[in-house]
Amino acid sequence: MLNIIFMGTPDFAKESLEAIYNAGYNILSVVTNPDRPKGRGLKLIASPVKEFAIEKNIAVLQPEKIREIKDELIKLNPDLFCVVAYGKILPQDILDIPKLGSINVHGSLLPKYRGAAPIQWAILNGDKKTGVTTMFMDAGMDTGDILLKQETEIGDNETTGELWNRLSKIGAKLLVKTLEKIENGTAQRIKQGLDFSLAPMLNKEMAKIDWQNKTAKEIKNLIRGLNPIMGAYTTYKDKKIKIWKAENLELKEFVNIYPEFEKHMSKLENMAGGAVICSDIKQGLYVKAKNSILLLQEVQAENAKRMSVQEFLRGSSIQTGEIFE
């Protein structure tokens, strides 16, 4: 049985750690990020990976910098490093420590979406499918030889959080299959092609909705892609409103639902992006985007909880014709 050092931090990684533990692999140690302060009391919180390791009496290492524990890693004499969402770049001299190398579980179908946020970018770009890849690691950013892939479809309304959870389970099973192939000598290494794309870290600036230049479908993808992290937002009377769920409509679809707007079709087409077309507790909250309309379904005003748009409108003075910016 392979002797493994597991490196990972969030719940996505914990699924893989649990899978290889249950498969009977000898986990010499877990390497995870140091405990971080969270919440109003800034209490130190352990990572999901650390919590699982403690529960199973697995040794835990938490360096600020990976080279701090290089000697310890060498002494442990591992066959493999399994790295899943660890959160730190590993230099080649660290990757070379295990006898058989270092493998990684990545949340995309490589070489598509190399980088820190592959799951988020798949949804932000409106992709219909994605998947998980296992690979041997090198010093490049997700450039190593591919071992296995598994594809899955992305639901039309699926959020980053929902896809994250699904891919974590797919990745855990794929990691076990990969280890079995490495162990029995049947693993095949496939070089990545030159046609790749990147998935850089997200930034707060991208969360603001651009009603003028983005279609309702693009805005819906932004909302899905930033849920539950950050949340896409608009402003109304200089106050932020986060939008957590919405549905996109073409102008003709909207007119089919509300025939009374048909005679105003040309007016609808020429309305500014961000204009509130309809604000009604029963009918809903519809906002004009580029050549299309967005139906808001779940929102969150400043200093308030997430709520349905109907609940929001009961306490709001938003009127038809007003502008979201």
Does residue 38 surpass a pLDDT of 90?
A: no
Its sign, for the CA torsion 270, 273, 275, 278, is: positive
Measured CA to CA in angstroms, residue 224 lies from 44, 87, 112, 171, 221 at distances of 30, 23, 20, 21, 5
Report how far residue 281's alpha carbon sits from residue 32's, in angstroms, rounded to the nearest whole number.
Answer: 48
- Domain identity same for 215 and 277: yes
Q: Residue 226 in contact with residue 288, Cβ under 8 Å?
A: no
Is 158 among the domain residues? Answer: yes
Is 241 among the domain residues? Answer: yes
- Domain identity same for 131 and 246: no
pTM: 0.95
Mean pLDDT of 257-284: 87
- Which residue range is the domain that position 257 belongs to? 204-314
Q: Residue 74 in contact with residue 96, Cβ under 8 Å?
A: no
Is 24 among the domain residues? Answer: yes
Lowest mean pLDDT among 39-43, 51-55, 305-309: 39-43
Predicted confidence at residue 220, as pLDDT, reads 98
Task: Provide the CATH number for the domain around residue 41.
Answer: 3.40.50.170
- Domain identity same for 26 and 158: yes
Task: Provide the CATH number for the domain around residue 258.
Answer: 3.10.25.10
Predicted confidence at residue 266, as pLDDT, reads 82
Q: Please write the tens of the pLDDT for every residue from 200-225.
A: 999 999 999 999 999 999 999 999 99
- Domain identity same for 115 and 143: yes
Report how far residue 176's alpha carbon sits from residue 180's, in angstroms, rounded to the nearest whole number.
Answer: 6
| DSSP code string of 266-282 | HHHHHSPTTBEEEEETT
Report how far residue 311's alpha carbon sits from residue 314's, in angstroms, rounded to the nearest whole number.
Answer: 5
Mean pLDDT of 267-281: 91
- Domain identity same for 172 and 285: no
Report how far residue 34's alpha carbon sits from residue 287's, in angstroms, rounded to the nearest whole number.
Answer: 44
Mean pLDDT of the chain: 96
**Which residue has 């579980």 as its token pair?**
105
Q: Residue 133 in contact with residue 119, Cβ under 8 Å?
A: no
Structural domain ending residue among the three candidates 184, 212, 244: 184
Predicted confidence at residue 265, as pLDDT, reads 80
- Domain identity same for 76 and 20: yes
Mean pLDDT of 51-59: 98
Is 248 among the domain residues? Answer: yes
Is 256 among the domain residues? Answer: yes
Q: Residue 290 in contact with residue 215, Cβ under 8 Å?
A: yes
Helix (H) or strand (E) holding 293: strand 292-301
Predicted confidence at residue 240, as pLDDT, reads 96
Does residue 87 surpass a pLDDT of 80?
A: yes
Is 106 among the domain residues? Answer: yes
The total domain count for the chain is: 2
Is 196 among the domain residues? Answer: no
Is 113 among the domain residues? Answer: yes
Measured CA to CA in angstroms, residue 256 lies from 57, 124, 201, 320 at distances of 61, 28, 40, 19
Predicted confidence at residue 41, as pLDDT, reads 80
- Domain identity same for 144 and 76: yes
- Domain identity same for 135 and 240: no
- Domain identity same for 21 and 124: yes
Phi first, then psi: give them for residue 102, nearest 5 degrees. Answer: -125, 135
